[in-house]
């Protein structure tokens, strides 16, 4: 997959950027709403409670997840419009070694709609796959606090777009790849 990563990380956050150390996950089931209590020593404790939310409808709940790399999925114009303050769509990236060897070949060949193969970022991230089944959003302050280790080239961004189209529409990826190899 020659040409996926740019020689240097771009100045601005862009689709295809790879960030390391993100926490991604989902609510446990059955759901467990939480409330916090701060004690005199400044320690905070959480306990299960009936659902309650702030004025914007958000509240706290117990989640299960992983610390992993993530790839930015949001389109450039969405990132730019946000003026650096709104949430950004991401998808987690996992090492290829998590997959059985026969599945690794399928992913490397671009034959799995849900997984985008990405090459190693030398010294920063191993050869991986981006799991499009787990697209989520992260608040911009969290995105800004993460380390960006790579930015996709135009070729890399085209591959990301093609994989997203294939994943959401189930358009034949071979036909789509042929269009992109021009």
Residues facing 94 on adjacent strands: 129
Q: Is the pTM of this model over 0.85?
A: yes
- pLDDT tens for 84-140 read 678 999 999 999 999 999 999 999 998 899 999 999 999 999 999 999 999 999 999
Distance CA(37)–CA(43), nearest Å, equals: 8
CB 152 within 8 A of CB 160: yes
Q: Rounded distance, CA 4 to CA 127, Å? A: 12
For residues 24 and 164, give the distance between their C-alpha atoms in angstroms, rounded to a whole number: 19
pLDDT of residue 82: 61
pLDDT of 2 over the 70 cut: no
- Taking alpha carbons only, the member of 179, 173, 46 closest to residue 115 is 173
The CATH architecture of the domain made up of 18-24+67-180 is Roll (2.30)
Give the per-residue pLDDT at 79: 81
Q: CA distances (Å), 50 to each of 56, 59, 61, in order? A: 17, 11, 10
Least confident piece of the model among 39-43, 112-116, 152-156: 39-43
User: Which among 69, 73, 50 has a CA at the least distance from the CA of 148?
Assistant: 69
């Amino acid at each position: 997959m020659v040409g996926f990563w740019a020689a240097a990380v771009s100045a601005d956050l862009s689709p295809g950027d790879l960030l390391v150390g993100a926490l991604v996950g989902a609510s446990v089931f059955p759901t467990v709403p939480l409330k916090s209590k701060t004690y005199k020593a400044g320690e905070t404790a959480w306990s299960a409670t009936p659902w309650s939310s702030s004025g914007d409808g958000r509240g706290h709940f117990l989640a299960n997840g992983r610390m992993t790399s993530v790839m930015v999925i949001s389109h450039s114009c969405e990132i730019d419009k946000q003026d650096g303050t709104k949430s950004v769509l991401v998808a987690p990236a996992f090492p290829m070694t998590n997959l059985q060897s026969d599945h690794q070949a399928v992913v490397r060949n671009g034959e799995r709609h849900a997984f985008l193969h990405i090459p190693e970022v030398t010294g920063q991230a191993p050869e991986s796959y981006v799991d499009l089944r787990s697209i989520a959003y992260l608040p911009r302050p969290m995105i800004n606090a993460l380390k960006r280790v790579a930015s996709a080239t135009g070729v890399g961004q085209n591959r990301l777009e093609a994989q997203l189209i294939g994943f959401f529409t189930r358009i034949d990826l071979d036909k789509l790849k042929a269009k992109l190899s021009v």
